[in-house]
Structure 1
Amino acid sequence: MATLLFDLLTDDEEDDRANVFDISLLADRLAGVVSWLDAQPSLARFPLGLFGASTGAAAALVAAAKFPRRVRAVVSRGGRPDLAGDFLDEVRAPTLLVVGGADVGVIELNEEALARLQGLKALEIIPGASHLFPEPGALEAVIEHAARWFEHYLGAGSEKSAPGIGTENERKGS
């Protein structure tokens, strides 16, 4: 597995908080990344998963809806998937929503988004974790869940179903 980490906004753009919530702008930038990956002969054949945090999670879901044959898995960490709006109904990629157990309000927004997702989906709640997962072991738990999700849906033999990996409407605390 390989990863590519990038910011969807420039430093100057981040100074304007409206840009952080401009899901259309963020999703367009992410769509540009997907298109760039597909234009790279050495990368285009690999399965693609998207990981988004906060409003980046909504952008990842919009991109998954726009590229249903390309995006094979999505993970949202402490995200605002609700901001993907009507695109939620179009996402077919297996989607894992990971939320901190102490992130009151965001849990409910993730539950509402989970209900709208049409494909395989799961909600993992990390007990005692807040929005940015700074608590000891919280970010490690997110990493474990995300790695397992991507390994299952993007790894060799990912077309098969494995026990213990997010089933539809699953909600867990771990």
Structure 2
Amino acid sequence: MKKINPLFISGCLLLVAPAMSATLSGTLAPTVVPLTNGGQANIAVSNTDPNLFTVPGDRITAINSLDGGLTNQEQTDSGGAILATVSKKPFTFIVETERGLNFSIRAVPRAGSGRTIQLVSELAGTPGPAKAWEESNPYESLLVSLNRAVRQGSVPDEYQSVPVTSEVLQVPAGLRA
């Protein structure tokens, strides 16, 4: 029978310790949930702390739940929604946005810290005047004029700027990104 060298075990523990401490730092990136307009997702939510829902580049205008699963909901200044529940059973609620997107969320309550959820959707088409403006120009000149407009701080009617989300790359212990 082969014995394991105590130095080998100590070395392994030293390599694993930085990775464990990085996950215990307390900072968590938002949970990104990709959805299509009208799509549904099962999402674990806290039933002991509030949860924040956002739609990057859009504002949540309404949240509806027929079965009373939500005990509190508040809109944020940035267009998100803070939701709280004390339910222990899964329930469904609908998220509506300013741009006309709708998402069905099946919330699965669990004890634990509140979460930040980003509902990310491909924006459904380009509305009226912006679409006509896009189609009236050849593609290359469309890109050039749109870039010029953005640099000058003006955007064609019905366009909105969409914030860039930064996702953090988890790097194995001992390596740098």
Q: TM-score, normalised by structure 1?
A: 0.25
Q: TM-score, normalised by structure 2?
A: 0.25
Query: Which of the pair has the greater relative contact order for Cα pairs under 8 Å at 6+ separation?
Result: 2
